[in-house]
Amino acid sequence: MNCGDLRGRMASYESGAEPTRREVRHLSRCKECAQEMARYGLLAESLEELSSQVVMVPAALEAALIAIPSAARPRLRAAVVVTHLRRNRRSYASGVALALTAGAATWATRSRRLEAA
Amino acid sequence: MRESVSAELLERCRRGDESAWAELVRATQREVYTLCLRILRNPDDAAEASQDAYVRAWKGLKSFRGEASFTTWLYRVASNAAISKQRSRKRSREHEVSSDDEMLASLPSGESTEGRADVRAELETLERALRALPEHYRAAVVLRDVYGMSIDEIAGQLAISESAAKVRVHRGRKKLKEMVFPANGTKS
C-alpha cells in the first residue's frame, strides 16, 4: 500500500471505523499518513460535536412557530368540510335530486290545481 | 439530537392541545433552526425553512407512527424543508457572503462547550469552514457528519443517487479538512 492509495480513501472512512491490517502497517511506518489520518479523525469528532451547538432562535420565529396550530385551524376546518363532502357526495347528490323531484312534483300539483280552479 | 419530546407530550399535541405544541416548539426549535442555518447559511431563509418544517410537522403529527424517535423524524422534516428552500432560492453568492457576519454574531451559543474557550474557538473555525464549503458539499457533510443521517437518507433528501451522495460527502470532507488544516491539507 502506498501513501496515495491510503490518502485517497481517508475521506471515505466513517467515524469509529477501524483501519485494516494493511493500513495499520502503513500508518505505523509513515508519519505523514498517520498525521493525515489523525486530522480526519479530529475533523469527524469536531463535526459530531457541532450537533450539540445550537443558536438562539429569533423571538419572532418562536412566536410564529407556536402560532402554527391556530393559523392552520381555519384551513384545517375547511379541509375537513371538503373531505366530508367528497366522501359523501353520492348521498348528498341523491338528497338534492330527491328534494328537486319533490319540489317539481309539488309545483306540478299546484299548477294543475290552479288550472282546474 | 437527544430525545427531548415525551410520548405524552406528543399525544397531547396530536389531540390538538396548543399549549403542548408550544412546549414541543420550545424544546426543539433551537436544534431545528440551527440545522436549517447550517444548510442555508442565511438567517432569514433558515427561519422560513424552520416554519415550513413545523407546519409539515403539525400536519404530519397524526401520521407519525413512532418508528424513529420524534426528534429524528423532525430533523428529517427540517432538513427536507431546508433543502427545498435551498433549491428554490435564487440569491446571489454575494448575498450569502454578506450574511456571514450576521451569522458569526450568532454562532455558536454552545451549550456543551460553554466555558471551554479553546474548544469553542476550534468549533467556530469549523463552522466558518463549513459555511465556506460549496453548497452541494455542505448539505451532504452536515447531514452525514453532524446529524448522522445515512447515505440513503441523504440521497433521498437531495434527490440524487447513493453513489453521488457518497461522493459529495467524501469530497466535502476532503475540502473541509484542507480548510481546517490549511498548512498540511495539500501535503502528499
pLDDT of residue B110: 43
Structural domain total, chain B: 2
In a domain, B168, yes or no: yes
Residues A77-86 pLDDT 10s = 667 677 777 8
Which residues of chain A lie closer than 8 angstroms to B54, CB-CB? 65, 68
pTM for the model stands at 0.72
Q: How far away is chain A from the Cα of B92, in angstroms, using its nearest Cα?
A: 24
Q: What is the mean pLDDT of chain B?
A: 82
C-alpha cell at B3: 430525545
Domain stop point among B35, B65, B96:
B96
Residues B59-110 pLDDT 10s = 998 888 777 789 889 999 999 999 999 888 755 454 554 444 444 444 444 4
Check whether residue A29 and residue A69 sit in a common domain.
no
Range of the domain at A102: 59-116
Residue type, A5: D
Put simply, the answer to whether B34 touches A53 (Cβ < 8 Å) is: yes
Check whether residue A72 and residue A33 sit in a common domain.
no
Residues A37-60 pLDDT 10s = 889 988 999 999 998 889 999 999
Nearest CB partner across the interface for A48, out of B55, B122, B145: B145
3-state secondary structure B99-164: HHHHHHHHCCCCCCCCCCHHHHHHHHHHHHHHHHCCHHHHHHHHHHHHCCCCHHHHHHHHCCCHHH
C-alpha cell at B29: 426549535
Cα separation, B40 vs A111, in Å, equals 73
Residues A13-43 pLDDT 10s = 876 677 788 888 898 999 999 999 889 988 9
Cα separation, B7 vs B105, in Å, equals 36
Find the largest Cα–Cα distance for chain B: 60
Put simply, the answer to whether A62 touches B25 (Cβ < 8 Å) is: yes
pLDDT of residue B98: 46
Structural domain total, chain A: 2
Cα separation, B100 vs B98, in Å, equals 5
- Put simply, whether B176 touches A (Cβ < 8 Å) is yes
C-alpha cell at B8: 405524552
pLDDT of residue B181: 86
Cα separation, B110 vs B129, in Å, equals 17
Range of the domain at B149: 108-183
C-alpha cell at A96: 338534492
What is the pLDDT averaged over residues B36-61? Answer: 94
The number of beta carbons lying within 10 Å of the beta carbon of residue B5 is 19
Q: How far away is chain B from the Cα of A22, in angstroms, using its nearest Cα?
A: 19
Q: What is the mean pLDDT of chain A?
A: 85
Residues B141-166 pLDDT 10s = 999 999 999 999 999 999 999 999 99
DSSP structure class, residue A57: P
In a domain, B102, yes or no: no
Ordered DSSP codes for B24-87: HHHHHHHHHHHHHHHHH--HHHHHHHHHHHHHHHHHHGGG---SS-HHHHHHHHHHHHHHHHHH
Q: Does residue B148 contact residue A44 with C-beta atoms inside 8 Å?
A: no
Check whether residue A78 and residue A109 sit in a common domain.
yes
Task: Report whether pLDDT(B133) > 90.
Answer: yes
pLDDT of residue B106: 47
CATH code of residue B89: 1.10.1740.10
Cα separation, B49 vs B74, in Å, equals 12
Least confident among A94-103, B108-117, B126-135: B108-117
User: Above pLDDT 70, what percent of chain B?
Assistant: 78
Check whether residue B90 and residue B126 sit in a common domain.
no
B113 pLDDT band, cuts 50/70/90, is: very low
Task: Report whether pLDDT(B187) > 50.
Answer: no
